[in-house]
A and B are shown apart, each in its own frame.
Chain A
Amino acid sequence: MNSCYLGIDVGSVSTNFVLLDDNGIVLKKLYLRTQGEPIRILKEGLTEIRDFIGDRYSIAASGTTGSGRQLASLIVGADIVKNEITAHAVAALAVRPDTRTILEIGGQDSKIIIIRDGMVYDFAMNTVCAAGTGSFLDRQAARLNIPIEKFGGYALKSSNPVRIAGRCAVFAESDMIHKQQTGQCLEDIINGLCEALVRNYLNNLAKGKAIESPILFQGGVAANVGIVSAFERELKEKIIVPENYDVMGAVGAAILAREETEKKGYTIFHGFDIIKSKYEAVSFQCSHCSNCCEVVELLADSQVVARWGDRCGRWSNAKEQKRAAG
């Protein structure tokens, strides 16, 4: 039975699964909508992965990334838990070892990663504004009644993009409505939105950073040809969208997990039986001190498997004591 490596990226909008083979080739990828229910989606994804694998492969390593990486790591038994920046960089370098810039736009955040000599040299991640993210586009597409998949195509048909404020999602929306009311055509408005997002991204995140080729564009938004083209116009450079652009975080997690298990010699992957367990995350407010931490408790079949969220360690360490004892 051949070995394969599992990477899971639990993001705010999508939860992605990737299986890599021994040569680093993607055997299987899944792009599922998280829908605010990471545990349910994790189990769904694992079920699909199990059915795909059958008895052809065995999982030799698993890694998690994304904003839900802690939760996912506890459920699947991850050999490595890594932040998205590192995961995206590792995946990009596996595709193009000479990568110098990574643009990544996901559902809730966007990042720019500057790579020099095969290492992350600098990065930025948007902090306080949603205007440069996929959710912003999702919302505007919904407003215009256009499926998000077709959004970019409309932009390419535009000959004269209208200028739309890109600083803030609220400004952009009112600007867009105004332009619609004055009778501007849909294609031009959509193209204007793409340009606004790119402008926001470059002004906000990329300020003072040297964007050099090769430039890889990753994350769900890279599917949008309108945005790709707006980036190319603005940067006057070619933008490379890698084949697995939408699951690069998961690819990175799988690569890192493989490195980790090769170092330590075994995996702690829990196996697929966990699909049958009933997982539940409950939170409560600790009243021990005035910090009033929100403590999250992860239950597997009503047994506490982990707790986190406390600043003092009273609960998260209690778990370890219990584990040490039992």
Chain B
Amino acid sequence: MIVTFPHMGNVYVLVKTLFDEMGVEYIIPPKCNKRTLELGTKYAPEMACLPLKINIGNFIESIEQGADTIIITGGCGPCRFGYYAEMHKEILAGLGYNVEIITLEVNEKGIPELLCRLKRMIGGRSVSSLALPMYKAMRIQTAADKLEELSFRIRPREIRKGSTDAIMQKYFDTVKTVYGAKAIAHLIEETRNLLLSTEIDKDYAPIKIGIVGEIYTLIEPFTNLDIEKMLGNMGVEVNRSLYISHWIKEHIILGGLHMRKKQPFEREAEPYLKTAIGGHAQETLGNTVLYAKQHYDGAIQIYPLTCMPEIVAGSIMPSVTKDYDIPVLTLVMDEITGEAGYITRIDAFVDMLRRRRQIKEANNELVLSGH
């Protein structure tokens, strides 16, 4: 059994740690690229959203390298994602690929069914043997996410342009080649120290932008023009509202155990959108409010074309903008690989935020931004 899984930003760090620790044989799909997208758009239904298409491309590229089992997470969420696993099965079967697909989700059959599937994933060993590796993998993912967060703060302040990019590029290249939780943790720590010792301009107060929107396009750089890197290199400090470690903790672990507590974003989203409508609509609205309250200069909403929850959130967004005086730029992602149009918008948005900051500073209003 050779296992593979779809890409989603740095999530391969978590999966790799888990499988290394469990001794499961696996293949990391090639980094998302134009061929991945081409394969996906060719075989997925035209109206499907972008993440599904890229998933299909990832699977085919992994199968070509010998994978025979696919692990994906599922869910009974009201957004299309809940239906992905079934679509994947049908599409791959239709193409004649003989692969097993194991969906990790808590469905109507509850926890026992999930345990049964986990057991299949690790080749029949007892599920309890998963506990420690899972714990280690979660810790690694949290550290990996924190590392990216740190790079978002260092990049705009670096004195030598490109130094953060070089450190992070080396990390991404190396992490696939080291084996096991211990070595990966060491690499992350090493990279963290490199970032911390990067020469920065301590007096520079960059404008700050929060990134909100649909989780996949937020996390997978191939679908968002590497926006955090792009903004960072324009001298902007970025904060991303969603991370995979956070998602797993909330939805898989606490959600599965029915122990999930109300989050700050939910309280903030409530006046605008009372119930979860699927996807990350409440996160998008609530986190934008939170960014405004933390004096961020603006927010960028990203989502794949036709994403229903984000369209709803986007149509409510003008009220948030008005109530909290926080400008929001919306970027809709699809197969487009021509970046010029996006860059124009982002460039103009950053220009605008800089001028607004100047005016606010001149009027001594900075502390009052927010309500």
In contact, A121 and B226 (Cβ under 8 angstroms) = no
* CB of A325 within 8 Å of the partner chain: no
Chain A hits for B341, CB < 8 A: 67, 109, 125, 127
Which segment, of B18-26, B45-53, B107-115, B343-351, faces chain A?
B343-351
- Per-residue CB contact flags for chain B residues 308-320 toward chain A (1 = under 8 Å, else 0) read 0000000101110
Interface core residue of A119, A294, A311 (most chain B CB under 10 Å):
A311
Residues from chain A with a CB closer than 8 A to the CB of B348 are 83-86, 120, 123, 125
* 12 sampled A-B residue pairs with Cβ under 8 A: A67-B344, A85-B348, A85-B351, A85-B352, A119-B355, A120-B355, A127-B332, A208-B317, A208-B321, A291-B33, A294-B337, A312-B169
List residues of A (20-77) whose CB comes within 8 Å of B's CBs.
67
- The closest CB in chain A to the CB of B337 belongs to A294
Q: Does A264 contact B (CB under 8 A)?
A: no
Contact residues of A between 110 and 129, Cβ < 8 Å to B? 117, 119-123, 125, 127-128
Inter-chain CA distance A109–B345, complex, in Å, is 11
Q: Are B318 and A208 in contact (CB-based, < 8 A)?
A: yes
Contact mask for chain B residues 33-58; partner A; CB cutoff 8 A; 1 contact, 0 none: 11100000000000000000000000
Assuming the contacts A125-B344, A311-B226, asked whether A290 and B351 have C-beta atoms less than 8 A apart, the reply is no
Docked-complex contact B33 and A290, CB < 8 angstroms: yes
Q: Is A304 an interface residue (CB 8 A)?
A: no
Residues from chain B with a CB closer than 8 A to the CB of A83 are 344-345, 347-348, 351
Task: Indicate if the CB atoms of B30 and A290 lie closer than 8 Å.
Answer: yes
Q: How far is the CA of A109 from the CA of B348 in the complex (A)?
A: 14
Option from B226, B327, B340, B345 in Cβ contact (under 8 Å) with A122:
B327
Contact (Cβ within 8 A) A290 B332: no
A313 in contact (CB, < 8 A): yes
A207 proximal to B (CB < 8 A): yes
Interface string of B353-371 (1 = CB under 8 A from A): 0011001000000000000
Q: Given A83-B347, A207-B318, A208-B319: A289 and B31 within 8 A (CB)?
A: yes
Contact indicator B35/A292 (Cβ below 8 Å):
yes
Find out whether the CB atom of A121 lies under 8 angstroms from the CB atom of B330.
no
Of chain A, the residue at the smallest CB distance from B349 is A123
Contacting residues, chain B, for A209 (C-beta < 8 A): 318
Chain A neighbourhood of B34, CB < 8 A: 292
Q: Are B318 and A128 in contact (CB under 8 A)?
A: no
Residues A67 and B318 in contact, CB atoms below 8 Å apart: no
Residues of B within 8 A of A (CB): 30-35, 162, 165, 169, 226, 305, 315, 317-319, 321-322, 327, 330-332, 334, 337, 340-341, 344-345, 347-349, 351-352, 355-356, 359
- Indicate if the CB atoms of A85 and B355 lie closer than 8 Å: no
Central interface residue in A121, A127, A317, by most chain B CB within 10 Å? A127
Q: Which residues of B contact A311 (CB under 8 A)?
A: 226
Q: B344 touching A119 by the CB < 8 A rule?
A: no
CA distance A83 to B327 in the complex (A): 18
Contacts of B337 in A (CB 8 A): 294
Taking a contact as CB atoms under 8 Å apart, the answer to whether A127 and B344 are in contact is no
B31 touches A291 (CB 8 A): yes
Shortest distance from the beta carbon of A221 to any chain B beta carbon, whole Å? 18
Q: Is the CB of A313 within 8 A of B165?
A: yes
How far is the CB of B357 from the nearest CB of chain A, in Å?
Answer: 11
Q: Which among A86, A109, A119, A290 has the highest number of chain B CB atoms within 10 Å? A: A290
Which chain A residues lie closer than 8 Å to B317 at the CB level?
A: 208
**Residue of B31, B340, B359 touching A67 (CB-CB under 8 A):** B340
CA of A289 to CA of B35 in the docked complex: distance in angstroms? Answer: 12
Q: Which of A243-297 contact B (CB under 8 A)?
A: 289-292, 294
Which of chain B's residues have a CB closer than 8 A to the CB of A109? Answer: 341
B352 touches A120 (CB 8 A): yes
A121/B356 in contact, CB under 8 A = yes
CB distance from B7 to the nearest CB of A (A): 11
CA–CA, A125 and B352, complex, Å: 14
User: Are A119 and B356 neighbours in the complex by a CB distance under 8 Å?
Assistant: yes
Closest to A70 in B: B340
Which chain A residue lies CB-closest to B343?
A83
Q: Which residues of B contact A294 (CB under 8 A)?
A: 337
The residues of A that contact B330 with a CB separation of less than 8 Å are 127
**B321–A128 contact, CB under 8 A?**
no
* Residue of chain A at shortest CB distance from B317: A208
Bound state CA distance, A85 and B226, in angstroms?
22
Closest CB of chain A to B92's CB: distance in Å?
21
Chain A residue, CB-CB nearest to B330: A127
Q: Hey, which chain A residues are within 8 Å of B349, CB to CB?
A: 123
Judge whether A84 and B31 touch: CB under 8 Å: no
Q: Which residues of A contact B35 (CB under 8 A)?
A: 292
B32: chain A residues within 8 A (beta carbon): 290
Contacts of A312 in B (CB 8 A): 165, 169
Residue of B whose beta carbon sits closest to that of A125: B345
What is the CB-to-nearest-CB distance from A84 to chain B, in angstroms, rounded to a whole number? 6
**CB neighbours of A127 from chain B (8 A):** 330-332, 341, 345
Kindly name the residue among A67, A122, A294 whose own CB sees the greatest number of chain B CB atoms within 10 A: A122
Q: In the complex, are the beta carbons of B318 and A290 less than 8 A apart?
A: no
Q: Are B359 and A86 in contact (CB under 8 A)?
A: no
Q: With the chains together, A83 CA to B32 CA distance in Å?
A: 29
Known: A86-B351, A127-B330. A292 touches B340 (CB 8 A): no
- Which residues from B are CB-within-8-Å of A317? 162
15 additional contacts, CB 8 Å, given A85-B352, A292-B35, A313-B162? Answer: A67-B341, A83-B344, A109-B341, A120-B352, A120-B355, A121-B352, A122-B327, A122-B352, A123-B349, A125-B341, A125-B348, A128-B332, A208-B319, A290-B30, A294-B337
Contacts of A120 in B (CB 8 A): 348, 351-352, 355
Contact of B359 among A117, A123, A128, A290 (CB under 8 A): A117
A125 vs B349: C-alpha distance when bound (angstroms): 11
Determine which residue in A83, A84, A121 has the highest number of CB atoms from chain B within 10 A of its CB, and name it. A83
How many angstroms from the CA of A312 to the CA of B230 in the assembled complex?
11
- Taking CB atoms, residues of chain A closer than 8 Å to B340 are 67
Whole-angstrom CA separation of A180 from B237 in the bound complex: 54
Residue of A nearest to B351 (CB): A86
Q: How far is the CB of A118 from chain B (nearest CB, A)?
A: 10
Which residue of chain B has its CB nearest to the CB of A309? B339
The answer to whether A119 and B169 touch across the interface, beta carbons within 8 angstroms, is no
Cβ B31 vs Cβ A123 within 8 A: no
The 8 closest A-B CB pairs, nearest first, are: A208-B318, A85-B348, A290-B33, A290-B31, A83-B347, A83-B348, A120-B352, A290-B30
